[in-house]
């Protein structure tokens, strides 16, 4: 899928993607309200913790892979030139 916003996700998946995007792009802007949004979508404390850990790990490992120019999988677009 190209865009989670138009993918027809259920409310829980949509809330998770919204949270993951904010954690990725603006982690310092996260507030208690963001956690409450996940709770309203059905996430308990353990699921919120798991989401934070998984999103953070993927952000970390993708940055490491980008920094050392890990070979991309064939279906992935190439690194931008420059």
- Residue 32 contacts residue 48 (beta carbons within 8 Å): no
Q: Does residue 82 sit within a domain? A: no
Question: pLDDT per residue over 26-77, tens digit each?
Answer: 999 999 999 999 999 999 999 999 999 999 999 999 999 889 988 778 877 7
Assess whether pLDDT exceeds 70 at residue 82.
no
Q: How far apart are CA 47 and CA 55, in angstroms?
A: 12
Q: Does residue 73 sit within a domain? A: no
- Give the pair of three-digit tokens for residue 30: 């996260």
Instruction: Give the per-residue pLDDT at 1.
Output: 62
Q: Does residue 78 sit within a domain? A: no
Q: Does residue 77 sit within a domain? A: no
Q: Does residue 40 sit within a domain? A: yes
- ∠ CA 9-72-60, nearest 5°, is 65
- Residue 47 contacts residue 38 (beta carbons within 8 Å): yes
Which residue range is the domain that position 23 belongs to?
Answer: 4-67
Instruction: Tell me how many domains the chain contains.
Output: 1
* Helical axes 32-40 vs 11-25, angle rounded to 10°: 160
CATH code where residue 17 lies: 1.20.1290.10
- Residue 35 contacts residue 48 (beta carbons within 8 Å): yes
């Amino acid at each position: 899928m190209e865009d989670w916003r138009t993918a027809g996700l259920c409310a829980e998946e949509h809330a998770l993607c919204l949270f993951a995007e904010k954690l990725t792009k603006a982690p310092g802007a996260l507030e208690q309200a963001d956690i409450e949004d996940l709770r309203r979508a059905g996430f308990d404390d353990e699921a919120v913790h798991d989401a934070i850990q998984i999103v953070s790990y993927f952000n970390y490992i993708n940055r490491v892979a980008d920094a050392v120019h890990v070979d991309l999988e064939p279906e992935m677009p190439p690194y931008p030139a420059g």
